[in-house]
Amino acid sequence: MKKLFTNYNLDLDKNERKLLTTFLKQSLKQTEADNRFFAESKAFKSVLEKLTSNNDQVKLTKDERTRLKFQIEQNVSHLEKKSKKGWFLKKWLYRSMLNQYRNMLDNHFKG
């Protein structure tokens, strides 16, 4: 049976909040100038405002959650490709970042 209501609240710890805010700031820098990404930049601005409001729970809308989840999944796949192509130093540098993004996806965005 399909669930009628889905919870879009995120309970983030300090490190996850910091990682997500830096990710959103970087994404906004890349997408704000292009009109094709208006919806993404609008959703990311809203999520960034909610993250900086210092609430314990971040309440997202369905659109914000799906756009954020898709963008993080794309970032994880990009980091995996980069780490596979690189030598030891590059793999070592990307490993911790890749693990943090994977943990965030598994803990907050699966399901």
**Please, which residues have CB within 8 angstroms of residue 29's CB and are 6 or more apart in sequence?**
none
Looking at the domain assignment, is residue 90 inside a domain?
yes
Looking at the domain assignment, is residue 5 inside a domain?
no
Residue 2 has pLDDT above 90, yes or no: no
Looking at the domain assignment, is residue 58 inside a domain?
yes
pTM of this structure? 0.87
Residue 24 belongs to domain spanning: 10-109
Looking at the domain assignment, is residue 84 inside a domain?
yes
- Give residue 76's pLDDT: 95
Please count the structural domains in the chain: 1
- Give residue 1's pLDDT: 63
Looking at the domain assignment, is residue 4 inside a domain?
no
**Please, which residues have CB within 8 angstroms of residue 48's CB and are 6 or more apart in sequence?**
21, 24, 25, 28
pLDDT digits (tens, 9 = 90+) for 58-98: 999 999 999 999 999 999 999 999 888 888 888 888 999 99
